[in-house]
Homo-oligomer: A and B are copies of this chain.
Amino acid sequence: MVDPKVVALITGLLSIGVAGYLFSWVMKQTNENEAMARFSKAIQEGAAAYLKRLFQALALVALVIAVVIIVAVNWQTAVAYLVGSFFSALAGYAGMYISTRANARVAYAAREGLKKAFPVGFYAGGVMGLLVVGIALMGMTVIYWIFKDPNIVLGFSFGASSLALLAKAGGGIYTKTADIGADLVGKVEFDLAEDDPRNPAVIADNVGDNVGDVAGMGADIFDSYVAAVVAVMILGWELYRDHPHGEAFVLFPLLLCAVGIIASLIGMLFVRTGESNDPGKALNTGTIVTTVVIGLVTVFVIAMTGIDAENIWTRNWQGWGILLPTVAGLVAGIVIGFTSDAVTDIDQKAVQNTAASAMTGPALLILEGFSYGLLSIVPSIVGICAAMIASYYTAQAFGVNGVYGVAVSAVGMLAITGMIVSSDAYGPIVDNAKGCAEAGNESEETIRVCDRLDAAGNTAKAITKGFAIGAAALTVLALFAAYTETVDLQTLDLRNTGVIVGLFLGAAMPPLFSALLILSVSRNAFVMVGEIRRQFREIPGLIEGTTPPDSNLCVDIATRGALKELLLPGLLAIGSPLLVGLLFGKNALGGFLAGSIVTGIIFALFMANAGGLWDNAKKFIEDGAHGGKGTDAHHAAVVGDTVGDPFKDTAGPSINTLITVMSLAASIFGPLIARLALFPL
């Protein structure tokens, strides 16, 4: 039989290879509009400058943490940690590189219509999607091959996650600082359109889309993907030490990822659109094909591993106990993604009620969006619980450990990552394309094509957000189980005061973290507003369009602000589990993780959905409801949208990564903590 590690490695390399092919195809597309090229160039430079400064700062942080790991754990984990950080950064950088180059090319292709432009955007997104999964799978396989211990792969995951946290949070602060600043002065005070080149913050705003949505989201999904796989590897390692096919339980998640990559490649072939089709449908078709292929192929892969081979043709084959949780995760991911899209859908009651309340001013609009955001938590929570129950019991029913089953369902959910990230990265690329088309004075028709591409991107983005949170929930639950195994907790009793204290402290972390990020955004946006107002006041000819603004100053405010504000939340994420563990011991730390997971999921869902809802309520009014643009209702809706911006694009998406990082830190430093705790409760 073929070694699963060989299969995983080859598939990973294949994925990277296809990404390279798509990259060269996209770069071959032309753009001959000079104004557009200049605009795109400014974005490229701003984004590259920000990422360069970010990664320089993070390299230093990574080295410090690596030294801590060498002292507290071992050098192998430290090496894996550095490799994980580097690969995560690479995935983010590559995504940003292609997206800032594809934007003008999509806009130029839009001259010839939807059919020509759509593939440019989608294949550019595909570069990102395939790189993320390819690099991750290759990295994990190689590390495991060399060190032969999943606990070392944990270091790889920790590196990927801590980098992702800072990239995501920094990008989120950057993008919303620029966006809010540009909107508050440009749109509200001077009545300029989105992306008006007279607005000094417009370049910063577009840079933000790329460093926040592309680089940040890439690093984020990279990290969930790796963490889910590592959790299963560790549980397989700990629970099936003495099993005749023990290693199959460790390697199964790598194989499942390989299946996911092949399925994503097949799914991508089905993403095609004609001139009049809805490109959103094309993206959904790709997702569904990928899902079905994974479901079908996984059964053969499990058979290949040799687990319970003698009973393979019986009703009691143990393989079902792995296959069914995989399918449960897959289905749950799709369901959660699509329902969280439905909550924020523009045709739904929640959005329309929220928009209607705008007629009484911003206050009731904020209250409605806030409340519907809270209500929207419930279906996703029920979905996550259903996936847990289903995967636990289907695993148990066929003689597989239930906790292992829950962890497998997380990997099952994430197996379609290649396809999901491709559709997601497509979003900001075509969003930027629209900006390019406007900056390049393209025809109405071209801009209309870009608009249609963009609408499909927004749907894909909403689905990905729900999906990312659902996946993170199952992943951290798997990591939580892995933690209890690595520190050898026989029970984690909620009747124990230490566990309850930990639960409370952990539960306070996601709100605290969110507050710090949102305050960063509002503090920086306040500075940005001052600068934009200054430029309009002091630069003669700016508002008339005869003198260009000084965009670099705005780019600089966003860059410096984001980097400066990262320190405290970053420290909190990595330091707090260590502190709680070293003070109160492994029981309290277990409670701490559970608390942070629970409120983390709730706040992540609430913030993503409330933000999406206000955004769509604004669009609903802009489409003509309640008087349309320029009315008091519209102004109220703009307030709601601005409040929602850092919810959905800064704090919300960072919380996933926060709880992943905290869980990984707990597992890595757990054995040390169990030994050294000062006042174990």
Contacts and interface: CB of A to CB of B under 8 A. Distances in A.
Interface string A573-616: 00000000000000000110011001101100010000000000
Interface string A334-375: 000000000000000000000001001111101110111111
A491 B492 CA distance: 9
> From DSSP, what is the main secondary structure of chain A's interface residues?
helix
Interface in A382-423: 382, 384-385, 388-389, 392, 402-403, 406
A497 B402 contact: yes
A392 B381 CA distance: 33
A367 B599 contact: no
B494 A381 contact: no
Interface string A293-308: 0000000000000000
A362 to B, nearest CB: 5
- Copies of this chain assembled into the complex: 2
B360 A643 contact: no
Interface in A464-505: 477, 481, 484, 489, 491-495, 497, 499-501, 503-505
A494 B492 CA distance: 5
Contact of A481 (B489, B495, B499): B495
Interface stretch (A58-66, A164-172, A453-461, A506-514): A506-514
Contacts of A178: none
A180 B484 CA distance: 50
A235 to B, nearest CB: 12
Given A360-B184, A526-B360, A381 B505 contact: yes
28 contacts: A180-B364, A184-B360, A184-B361, A357-B522, A360-B525, A360-B529, A364-B525, A364-B526, A364-B642, A366-B639, A368-B519, A370-B643, A371-B522, A378-B508, A378-B512, A381-B508, A382-B505, A384-B504, A385-B505, A389-B501, A403-B495, A477-B500, A491-B495, A494-B591, A500-B594, A504-B601, A508-B602, A639-B639
The 5 A-B pairs with the shortest beta carbon distances in the complex, nearest first, are A363-B642, A374-B515, A371-B515, A492-B494, A374-B511
Interface of A: 180, 184, 188, 357, 360-364, 366-368, 370-375, 377-378, 381-382, 384-385, 388-389, 392, 402-403, 406, 477, 481, 484, 489, 491-495, 497, 499-501, 503-505, 507-508, 511-512, 514-516, 518-519, 521-522, 525-526, 529, 590-591, 594-595, 598-599, 601-602, 606, 638-639, 642-643, 646, 681
Given A180-B364, A375-B515, 16 more contacts: A180-B363, A357-B522, A367-B518, A367-B522, A371-B518, A372-B519, A377-B508, A377-B512, A378-B508, A385-B504, A385-B505, A402-B497, A492-B493, A503-B598, A507-B599, A507-B602
